Amino acid sequence: VQKSLKTQTLIMPYDDVEKILDNARYICLTKCMCKTRTEFMGTRECKDKYPLETCMPLNQGAKYFIERGLGREISKEEAKDLCKEFNKMGLIHTIENYSDDTHTLLCNCCPCCCNPLGGITKWDKPNSVAAANYIAEVNLPKKCEKCEICVEKCIFKAIEIKEDGPEINKEKCMGCGVCVVNCQSNVIGLKRIEKAEIPKSLLELGLKIGREMD
């Protein structure tokens, strides 16, 4: 299981995202930089699956985007509704890898355009993004309808459907929670585990990454 250091980007399940949004002073909705890049290059694989407007600058980041006409200000409730919708689509919430309330960008990422996620799904770089401090857990295997939606939605290929229900590969699971929100039978839940201590601030994150690179 990946540790939560050595990278600036942290995967986050919806319940934790909701807390971030509740504490945000400003929220903006803008075009995803990664999807816009691949769109421009003509290599965007998810053109018919996901919208372009999926990035949410927060706080000072949101203020910067709004003042320059690079996105529109949205309410906390609209941001929450959009994040739920994005999660249902299979997009992964990612944010800067520290715990205080000064975050500047919440991304809703796909593996085909997002470089950090692509590090795991395409290029075998497990530390390109930090796993959430959660892991998917099968709670009610007998209720599984074997629809395989969880398998289809899991970009990390961490789920298989066996005779007795879903089986989670704990080494591959990143704790994003996409399988949970897409399980109509409520068979899968998220269990909190401490993979690594998340830095408190951007400064602390930078110092820790610098020490680990020495």
pLDDT of 120 higher than 90? no
Q: What six digits make up the tokens of 54?
A: 């999926």
Q: Identify the H or E element spanning 96.
A: strand 92-96
3-class DSSP state of 136? strand
178: nearest Cα among 53, 76, 94:
94
Residue with the bigger pLDDT between 49 and 129: it is 49
69-75: Cβ within 8 A, 24+ apart: 70/28, 70/30, 71/28, 71/29, 71/30, 71/31, 72/28, 72/29, 72/30, 73/26, 73/27, 73/28, 74/27, 74/28, 74/29, 75/27
Question: What pLDDT score was predicted for residue 9?
Answer: 86
Alpha-carbon torsion (50, 80, 36, 3), positive or negative: negative
| Contact status, residue 176 vs residue 15, Cβ threshold 8 Å | no
Q: What is the mean pLDDT of residues 134-138?
A: 95
Q: Give the Cα separation of 50 and 98 in Å (integer).
A: 27
pLDDT of 5 higher than 70? no
Question: What pLDDT score was predicted for residue 107?
Answer: 96
Q: What six digits make up the tokens of 56?
A: 């949410």
Helix-helix angle 76-89:14-23, to 10 degrees: 160
pLDDT of 124 higher than 90? no
Question: What pLDDT score was predicted for residue 21?
Answer: 97
